[in-house]
Structure 1
Amino acid sequence: MKRIGWKISTLAAALLVILAIAQPTRLKAQAAPPAGTASIHGHILNPAGLPITKGEVRLTTDRSSDAKDRKYPYKFPIDQDGNYKGTGIVAGTYVVFVFQDDKSLDFNESVPIAKDEDKLLDFDMSRAEYISKMSPEDRKALEEYKKKNAEVVAGNAKIQNLNALLTQARADNKAGNYDSAITAMKQATETKPDEGILWVTLGDAQLGSGETAAKAAKAAGTSPTDPAILQKYTDAAASYKKAADLNAASKKPNPETAGVAYNQLGQAEARLGDAKASSDAYEQAAKAQPEKAGMYFFNEAATLYNSGKLTEAGAAADKAIAADPKKADAYYIKGQALIPQATVDPKTQKIVAPPGCVEAYQEYLELAPDGPHAADVKGILEGIGAPIKSTFKAGKK
């Protein structure tokens, strides 16, 4: 009997299925297989060791005709998991092929199937025998694919680890476990030093650690500006700057990352006593996210106010009001920043508030008649003899 030369297909065809989108197998009602027939099933792997998810398995006993004229009495589809199965096969010895897009990928030349047997026949194209028959070009392409795939797998694992560290650090920051967050984010930034959001989270942990240390120092009666505490703020500022610089240098800078980084940098610089650097940072935050300028300018005003820098806080409050005229607390800060400049009229001995002060307090009451500072503001206005508008309405309780 003439021996037929079964040709192994190219790697390109074998790997094509890797990129194919898996489609759900259509289920059809199947009639019971004829009595006395056999069945077959198995799993199919391509040269890269991945399941083939497209194609069919064909069986034939036709060994004499040309490939193009060969008849295949049995054809069974390969499912999305790389499995196939078929029934109703008459007992015999078959050549079993794996086909994809009418191209033969692999075959088994002599497969005996007995009556009533459920034949298991797997195809593993990553076997050495199969690989050895591939062309040098195909083998090179396979190795390059394996290398790339390994890099992708390693990259995904790295990203998953970074995400886990980031999630844990954010939870630790929220819970006040700043040392733990610092440890996690230092590991993360060492692993991927070019990711801005990691530096933001590290900065948050360092800033939180500084705030905690400063609070403890005040409670203990020691200096909150101890060099060790200031170093925490310095580290936080450096991390925020790193985040902002990395984001700015990226192909697609993220406005939100920039806004958050500069906003937090403003806080750190204020803790270090550098009012100008703090204001510059908040300006950058507002520039990065104009739609949130009111919030960033208010944060600037509040940070400077809490640091006792009233003149700078008043200027920032003006910017916050210009960006968001409905921000009640910005008017309060403006009034508080101006009231120390009040003088006493030598003739009337009445207190004279500086320009804009009374108006700021009155606008606060207009916007927040039941606000947390409402009682204090009314007391100040009464104390300086300024009118309190009678149009205020109590808020809903």
Structure 2
Amino acid sequence: MKNSAIQKAVSLVVVGLGLLAAVPVFAQTGAVSGHCADDKGQAIVGYPIVIERQEVKGVYKTKTDKKGNYIYMGIPLGQYKVTLQDPTGKTVFFISKHVGLDPSPTIIDFDMAKERAEQAKSIESNPEAKKQQELNEKNAKEFAGLHALFEQGQALFEQKKYADAAATYEQALAMTKEGDRNQIVVLGRLADTYEKAHQYDKAVEDYRKALAATPNDALLHNSLGNALAEMGKIPEAQAEFQKSAELDPPNARMAYFNLGVVMYNSGHMDDAVAAFQKAAKADPTYADAFYWQGLALMGKATLQGEKVVAPEGTVDALQTYLKLEPTGKYASAAQQMLQAIQGGVQTEYKKTKKKG
């Protein structure tokens, strides 16, 4: 009987210890809940709630329901940043709070009318904060006006109304600040517009102004090269294309291709071939680079009686183009050139072995 009683007592102790040991397992998590209301006191429906743990990385997400309420259960105890976002993911407001060992969820409400009122009160009592808010509001209004003009200019540009687009971009430019990123963007677009309107001197001037603020912009160097080429300033254009390619090697094909076209149009066939070869090397799938390479090489072809003798590499370039673009815009021309070369005509072309 005594042993039986002891065994029962031990069993009770063990069970008791088991229960005590189990308590922390359930007590180590908490919950957050709250109500979200807008400036007019109306429920904020369907907005994301992002709950971020601060001490250790952890992110939990939920949404407000039809009544503006939300709840998230089973999160570890600790300090959290709880953010109310709009449907686009933009932060509306956030609150930092500790989630502890409370039997009920930690309440974190978003009462925007109350929060705005407290913000305004805080700003009124702080002259520097008030000044900063006024500046922010002014900048926001100016940006809205700038953005509207920029969009208007873009619409006119797409309609090919370049004179009107340029005038609109000039208005937008007047609203920017010296050295500001917005100024650089507007200058670049204004220069693009002048280039399309064949006002190359103005285009060059604005490209250079933009590059003065951002000298490592490969696209601006490429665009400046195009405008200079249209003005017949070939050496300067060549330097800009080369600079563009050096600044952005992954996209160098565009700069080298443009350089090749400029060299071809100016009758510098050796330079054109070299540029097209670089474009093809930068992007071996760029079919146009191979076609123009073949075209430039054909510009160096000679006639021996009735025979066309094309430089080495011509056939390979044209065949590569056709392999990449068998029905491309230059396919017919490429086939005609190959027929002229290969139609029983001996050439200097020697087929090179393909690299494995």
- Normalised by the length of structure 1, the TM-score is 0.54
Give the C-alpha shift of residue 360 in structure 1. 1.3
In structure 2, the residue matched to 1:313 is 272
Cα distance in 2 for residues equivalent to 1:287 and 1:243: 19
Q: What pairs up with 1:201-280 in 2 under 5 angstroms?
A: 201-210=189-198, 232-248=199-215, 258-280=217-239
Q: What pairs up with 1:42-191 in 2 under 5 angstroms?
A: 79-82=111-114, 142-191=126-175
Give the C-alpha shift of residue 279 in structure 1. 2.2
Runs of 4+ in 1 over 6 A off after TM superposition: 26-29
C-alpha contact (below 8 Å) 1:166/1:201 kept by paired residues: no
Give the 3-state SS of the residue equivalent to 2:112 in structure 1: coil
In structure 2, the residue matched to 1:294 is 253
In structure 2, the residue matched to 1:369 is 326
C-alpha contact (below 8 Å) 2:257/2:279 kept by paired residues: yes
Give the C-alpha shift of residue 285 in structure 1. 2.2
Name the CA shift for 1:321/1:238 in 2 (closer, same or farther; >3 Å): same
In structure 1, the residue matched to 2:313 is 356
Cα distance in 2 for residues equivalent to 1:340 and 1:83: 74
Name the CA shift for 1:353/1:78 in 2 (closer, same or farther; >3 Å): closer
Cα distance in 2 for residues equivalent to 1:380 and 1:80: 73
How big is each residue's C-alpha offset from its partner over 1:142-164, in whole Å with a ceiling of 9 and x where there is no partner? 32222221111111111122222
Name the CA shift for 1:273/1:386 in 2 (closer, same or farther; >3 Å): farther
Amino acid at match of 2:149: L
Cα distance in 2 for residues equivalent to 1:83 and 1:380: 75
Give the C-alpha shift of residue 191 in structure 1. 2.4
In structure 2, the residue matched to 1:336 is 295
Residues matched between the structures, number: 243
Cα distance in 1 for residues equivalent to 2:265 and 2:153: 27
Cα distance in 2 for residues equivalent to 1:319 and 1:28: 60
Give the 3-state SS of the residue equivalent to 2:284 in structure 1: coil
Cα distance in 2 for residues equivalent to 1:125 and 1:373: 70
Give the 3-state SS of the residue equivalent to 2:334 in structure 1: helix
Give the C-alpha shift of residue 386 in structure 1. 5.6
Give the 3-state SS of the residue equivalent to 2:342 in structure 1: coil
Give the 3-state SS of the residue equivalent to 1:81 in structure 2: helix
Amino acid at match of 2:164: S
Give the C-alpha shift of residue 304 in structure 1. 4.6
Name the CA shift for 1:261/1:23 in 2 (closer, same or farther; >3 Å): farther
Task: Single out whichever of 366-375 and 315-324 deviates more from structure 2.
Answer: 366-375
C-alpha contact (below 8 Å) 2:302/2:309 kept by paired residues: yes
Name the CA shift for 1:387/1:364 in 2 (closer, same or farther; >3 Å): farther
Give the C-alpha shift of residue 267 in structure 1. 1.2
Cα distance in 2 for residues equivalent to 1:359 and 1:350: 19
The answer for unaligned runs of 5 or more in structure 2 is: 1-33, 38-42, 44-66, 70-93, 96-108, 346-356
Give the 3-state SS of the residue equivalent to 1:355 in structure 2: coil
C-alpha contact (below 8 Å) 1:328/1:363 kept by paired residues: yes
Cα distance in 2 for residues equivalent to 1:145 and 1:28: 31
- Does 1 or 2 have the higher relative contact order (CA < 8 Å, sep 6+)? 1
CA RMSD of aligned residues (A): 3.5
C-alpha contact (below 8 Å) 2:36/2:110 kept by paired residues: no
Give the C-alpha shift of residue 243 in structure 1. 1.4
The answer for unaligned runs of 5 or more in structure 1 is: 1-21, 30-52, 55-76, 85-97, 101-123, 127-137, 211-231, 389-397
How big is each residue's C-alpha offset from its partner over 1:7-35, in whole Å with a ceiling of 9 and x where there is no partner? xxxxxxxxxxxxxxx98259899xxxxxx
Percent of paired sites with the same residue? 29
Give the C-alpha shift of residue 199 in structure 1. 0.7
Cα distance in 1 for residues equivalent to 2:319 and 2:197: 38
Cα distance in 2 for residues equivalent to 1:319 and 1:125: 64
Name the CA shift for 1:382/1:265 in 2 (closer, same or farther; >3 Å): same
Amino acid at match of 1:82: K
Cα distance in 1 for residues equivalent to 2:166 and 2:68: 58
Structure of greater Rg = 1
How big is each residue's C-alpha offset from its partner over 1:76-111, in whole Å with a ceiling of 9 and x where there is no partner? x99321299xxxxxxxxxxxxx9x9xxxxxxxxxxx
- Normalised by the length of structure 2, the TM-score is 0.59
How big is each residue's C-alpha offset from its partner over 1:208-245, in whole Å with a ceiling of 9 and x where there is no partner? 111xxxxxxxxxxxxxxxxxxxxx10110111122122
Give the C-alpha shift of residue 355 in structure 1. 2.2
Give the C-alpha shift of residue 307 in structure 1. 6.1
